[in-house]
Structure 1
């Protein structure tokens, strides 16, 4: 498990001087770290330095640095700015999945989702599984929401899981 080291000044009245005390906190203890990592990834992909990136988003560099370092929580306006300036999907920024930035699209690719749902329905039928419409949609969405380029792998994994479910091997 990776550790993040935070330095906090010891109160002057306790020691008579300003010493630094190290406090180790696991990554799991800071819910801002995934968001900070995704911000840093988009910035790196954009080719901008921190000051340029912050300026383009309309925030002071010091404020942006706090977000990228997972020290402060960004405002909701950051989501709008990331979508406006870089085309980044706000849902991906908040919760992923994955490290590859997902672009915000104004329209849903219903044809692709329907195609995935049909592939899953055909596979389930072939192996003797009967799935409800809701189950089909949930499975298709799980594959649909994978990182770009990972759809084939996710679909293959889904088919293996369905096969295992049908044979009782799970």
Structure 2
């Protein structure tokens, strides 16, 4: 049986394989079903998920098309939560976050400009919606520390 590398230093495909497996698990599909949705044979897909073979660029396009996942996230990360492809930006969510951060900043005596507000909102927005509340709470703690001169 062939030894499969388990670290990035041994095999640079390991992080890609882990992110692919994360997308598949999040889709609720088994490996065969996932491979079929991507338009590849199961055996081919298994090689990618096991970090045995390098996936072709067409796989990145298929993951974006079928599951709305950013191909750059598949290749480089960061994090364990799949990042959505930019064309599927939820503009209403981004605007809501920006407004909530603006209100909170003003409430504690900060007056960030538009570009700063957008940067702050994007930092929260870039987190998955499932962890938005925690990310927003962390952002508010950071703003509070900034207002108190502790940052």
TM-score category (smaller protein): 0.7 to 0.9
Does structure 2 retain, via aligned residues, the 8 Å contact 1:97–1:147? no
1:77-116 alignment, distance < 5 Å: 77-96=58-77, 98-101=79-82, 104=85, 106-116=87-97
Measure how far apart 1:52 and its partner are: 3.7
Q: Which has the higher contact order (CA 8 A, sep 6+)?
A: 2
Partner of 2:21: 40
Partner of 1:127: 108
Measure how far apart 1:48 and its partner are: 3.9
Does structure 1 retain, via aligned residues, the 8 Å contact 2:20–2:74? yes
Once superposed, what is the RMSD of the aligned Cα atoms? 2.9
* TM-score for the superposition, normalised by structure 1: 0.69
Structure 1 position 67 matched with structure 2 position 63: no
* TM-score for the superposition, normalised by structure 2: 0.76
**Unmatched tracts of structure 2, length 5 or more:** none
> Number of residues paired by the alignment?
149
Cα distance in 2 for partners of 1:56, 1:107 equals 19
Does structure 1 retain, via aligned residues, the 8 Å contact 2:6–2:14? no
Higher helix fraction (1 or 2): 2
Give the number of the structure whose alpha-carbon radius of gyration is greater. 1
